[in-house]
Amino acid sequence: MCRNIKTLFNFEPPATEDEIHASALQFVRKLSGFNAPSKANEAAFELAVAEVSASARKLLTSLHTHAPARDREIEAEKARERSKARFG
């Protein structure tokens, strides 16, 4: 899995449209191999990002859990600690 794509489900507050779009953009970049597509591929690239965003939004709104919502700041701190332990 692409390490830049973050978990968006079960957070308080819920994922924003910007977070969903950023995740979709990373996914499409990974699949296509393009960081920025050429003019010839730009329309297909942008359409794919829009479709993945819509699918992600649909998925996030349809998932259910009984687990308590995670706190973004606590999870970010855990990630920083893991990174520090891994990379020094």
> Which tens digits make up the pLDDT trace of 30-44?
999 999 999 999 999
| Residue in the structure block whose two tokens are 């995670």 | 70
Alpha-carbon torsion 60, 66, 69, 70, what sign? negative
Over residues 49-58, the mean pLDDT reads: 97
Looking at the predicted structure, is the pLDDT value of residue 4 above 70?
A: no
Please say if the pLDDT value at position 72 is more than 90: no
Give the rounded distance of the alpha carbon of 65 from its chain centre: 19
- Structure confidence at residue 3 as a pLDDT band (50, 70, 90): low
pLDDT score at 37: 94
- Backbone torsion region of residue 14, taken as left when φ is above 0, otherwise alpha when ψ lies between -120 and 50, otherwise beta: beta
Residue count of the chain = 88
